[in-house]
Amino acid sequence: KELLNTVHSNTVDDVITPNSSGHRIRRNPEAEILSGRKEPEARKKNSEKNFRLSQSSPLKKIQVSETSRPVKNGKIFPVEKNSRLITYPEEKAHPNFVRDLSACDQTENALHESEAKFRAVAESSIAGISITDMEENFTYVNDAFAAMLGYEKDELIGRNLSMLTSVDELLYYRKKTENRKQGFSEKYEIQLQTKSGETRSFLLSASPLISGEGEVTEILGVTIDITERKKAEETLKKSEDRFRSYFELSIAGVAITSPDAGWMEVNDHLCQLLGYTKEELRQKTWVELTHPDDRQPDLQHFQQVLNGKKEGYSIYKRFLRKDQQIIWAHLSVKCIRHADGNVDYFVAVLFDISERMQAEEEIRHLNETLEKKVEERTAQLKALNQEMEAFAYTVSHDLRAPLRAIGGFTRILIEDYAPQLDAEAWRICSVIQDNAQKMNELIDDLLTFSRMGRAQMHLFETEMDPMVQAIFNELTTRAMQEQIDFRPDPLLPAPADSHLIKQVWMNLLSNAIKYSSKNEHPVIRVSCRQEEETIIYSVSDNGVGFNMQQAGRLFEVFQRLHSADEYEGTGVGLAIVKRIVNRHGGEVWAEAEVNQGATFCFSLPAHLPEHQS
């Protein structure tokens, strides 16, 4: 045993320094326990204590050849191919000592074989393997452990664990080491710093190494880098937390259902919509809670998803609440599949649209009612139109006949009895003729006003400039044209019925000429401007104007702000203007001051209606 300890202990150095006799002990290089590992101090001291060979006695050499095979319990054990040269004092050579030496050699070879296997496993492992003594100094590390931390092996051997971790982590490790001293193995996480300064997370499996005397001399650590796994777990947790927050805080009912239509997971909003608790819903299927009239269409879509024809669907359907009330919902379903294409689960989102459906039902009912009202109103308008036509016929024929008679008899009276008529008779006959003429003009204007509401319109892009100039020339004599300062600006064209819009310009220009005629220097201006999709035309004069408080009467039939004695007219012209402009989809208005003139404006759409574009 003493010789074996001596031989084994001196495997630290390749060659022991020669003694005084010039003899030396050679070692087998394969006997080194682990490459680069430092021998514990206790073992070195034990080796020095056991090495007591006599330096004065000659040594006898014993050659253990490659073909030598130690035998134990009837089995032959192989020995190392490299022969070992063992020397011992010649005067102590004894056959029994040779046999003891052979047994020692077998034991040492077995130790070499075991350590070679350990080395092979340790160096080929993808896990980091390290051994530290009780002072936390590394005595061994494999390539994987060094690579994890960005070091070379030689940079870690003999160095202290404190170089790789913070103070808090080191205290945590030492606390765990107390359990190792009691002989227990344990797994736990530890934070280590790489050579570049990055802190990474590792899963450490620590086990005590116990000496022959039963004392823990070293700690074996198997380390796995779990930094990326922890990041992935953290990302997954954040994703799950985010999904859970969306799931629970959603303004819609959200559910996860199984391929057999069961409720796997539901949020609180869905429970509120359906009136069930989560536990109650998990005991039912969505088919049970679907209105009987809507089950078959929903199941058809669901089956198509199960068959792989589509990945989801959206429908409107009715659900039955726990209190048997009907809930209308907009349902959207998405299928989630396994990697092999089989259905894993469904995600369903339900929006309560009961109020919207109720409103649509009310609108539908109102539309039906409105259609009836429109039919009734149309019939009334048709009747009114017939009455208007009858009235117009009456006015055109029945009223004109008496007027013709009055006018005719007045002319006969003047022609046949002129010598017998005094001045007063002549005045009375003149008044009769004038009023008959005015009555005839009123009838003509009233018939015109009636036709303007019933005449069919044909809208075309109409040029306003030539129309306005032609109407002004038609309404004035050469002498009037020389007296009136007529200032028309360039006018934009607009979609209009040329016949009807001509009547508008005729009435507005004639009013401007009439009410500015008493001014010493009459001025009439025509202009336009465009505002978004509307063109606004205006006719201004510097005539007598009017009080704006009476402006509302301007566009009513037979309403006049000036007496017929001052300015002739029937009071129908502006009413005709309003009716025509309104039929074009525009508006008409006026602005004025007394004795400061007036401006009449009307608007027309800038573009033709879509059905006539």
Nearest to 86 by CA among 19, 25, 2: 25
Cβ-proximal residues to 118 (8 Å cutoff; 6+ apart), any chain: 34
The amino acid at residue 326 is I
Q: Tell me the two tokens of residue 168.
A: 């808090």
- Return the pLDDT at 51: 36
* The residue to which tokens 């022959």 are assigned: 212
Highest mean pLDDT, choosing among 100-104, 534-538, 549-553: 534-538
Please state which of the ranges 152-161, 241-250, 433-442, 470-479 shows the lowest mean pLDDT: 241-250
Q: Which residues pair with residue 86 across a beta bridge? A: 62
- For residues 470 and 481, the answer to whether their CB atoms sit within 8 Å is no
Q: Which two tokens stand for residue 86?
A: 């063992």
Confidence band of 302 (pLDDT split at 50, 70, 90): very high
Q: How confident is the model at residue 29 (pLDDT cuts 50, 70, 90)?
A: very low
Contact 131, 150 (CB under 8 A): no
What's the average model confidence in pLDDT over 404-416? 82
Kindly provide the residue ranges of all beta strands, DSSP E only, lying in 40-83, ordered along the sequence: 59-64, 71-72, 75-76
Phi-psi region of 290 (alpha: psi -120 to 50; beta: other; left: phi over 0): beta
Question: What pLDDT sits at residue 572?
Answer: 72
Please indicate whether residue 511 or residue 62 has the higher confidence score (pLDDT): 511
Residue 81 confidence (pLDDT): 39
Are 571 and 557 in contact by the 8 Å Cβ rule? The answer is yes
Return the top range by mean pLDDT from 114-123, 295-304, 358-367, 406-415: 295-304
Non-local (6+) Cβ contacts of 186 within 8 A are: 176, 179, 180, 205, 206
CA gyration radius, the chain:
59
Beta-carbon-side half-sphere exposure of residue 456 (alpha carbons within 13 Å): 1
Is the separation of the CB atoms in 613 and 607 below 8 Å?
yes
Q: Which residue blocks in 275-422 are alpha helix, DSSP H?
A: 278-282, 292-306, 354-393, 400-416
The reported pTM is: 0.38
Instruction: List all residues 6 or more positions away from 364 whose beta carbon is below 8 Å from its beta carbon.
Output: none
Above 80 in pLDDT, residue 561?
no
Q: How many CA atoms lie within 13 A of 426 on its CB side?
A: 7
The kind and range of the H/E element at 344 are strand 343-352
Q: What is the Cα 408 distance to its own chain's centre?
A: 87
d(CA 429, CA 415): 11
Q: 122 near 129, Cβ under 8 Å? A: yes
427-471 confidence digits (pLDDT tens) = 888 888 877 777 777 677 667 666 666 667 788 899 999 999 999
Tokens of 404: 């013709």
d(CA 371, CA 461): 34
d(CA 189, CA 223): 9
Residue 326 in tokens: 């009907």
Share of the chain above pLDDT 90, in %: 24
116/122 Cα distance (integer angstroms): 10
512 with 575: CB under 8 angstroms? no
Spatial CA neighbour of 543 closest among 592, 507, 494: 592
Residues 6 or more apart whose CB falls under 8 angstroms from that of 508 comprise: 539, 577, 600, 602
Q: How confident is the model at residue 557 (pLDDT cuts 50, 70, 90)?
A: low
The pLDDT-based confidence of 66 (bands split at 50, 70, 90) is very low
For residue 314, what pLDDT is reported? 92
CA distances from 522 to 156, 179, 507, 517, 574 (A): 112, 117, 18, 6, 21
Nearest to 499 by CA among 575, 609, 569, 576: 576
The reported pLDDT for the residue numbered 170 is 81
- CA distance readout (Å), 513 to 444, 574, 600: 21, 14, 13
Distance CA 362, CA 364 (A): 5
Least confident of 19-33, 163-177, 289-303, 374-388: 19-33
**Which sign, positive or negative, has the C-alpha torsion 571, 574, 580, 585?**
negative
In the prediction, which pLDDT does 75 show? Answer: 38
Query: Sign of the CA dihedral 235, 239, 245, 246?
Result: positive
- Residue 275 scores a pLDDT above 70: yes
Ranking 105-109, 260-264, 564-568 by mean pLDDT, the lowest is: 564-568
Give the separation between CA 564 and CA 248, rounded to whole angstroms.
81
Cβ pair 253, 270 in contact under 8 A: yes
* Integer CA distances (angstroms), 384 to 394, 448, 454, 579, in order: 15, 17, 12, 17
Q: Cβ(170)–Cβ(178) under 8 Å? A: no
Q: What is the predicted pLDDT for the residue at 21?
A: 34
What pLDDT was estimated at residue 248? Answer: 67
Mean pLDDT of 322-344: 90
**Angle ∠(31,37,40) on CA atoms, nearest 5:** 95
What is the average pLDDT score of the chain?
A: 76
The mean per-residue pLDDT over the stretch 529-550 comes to 88
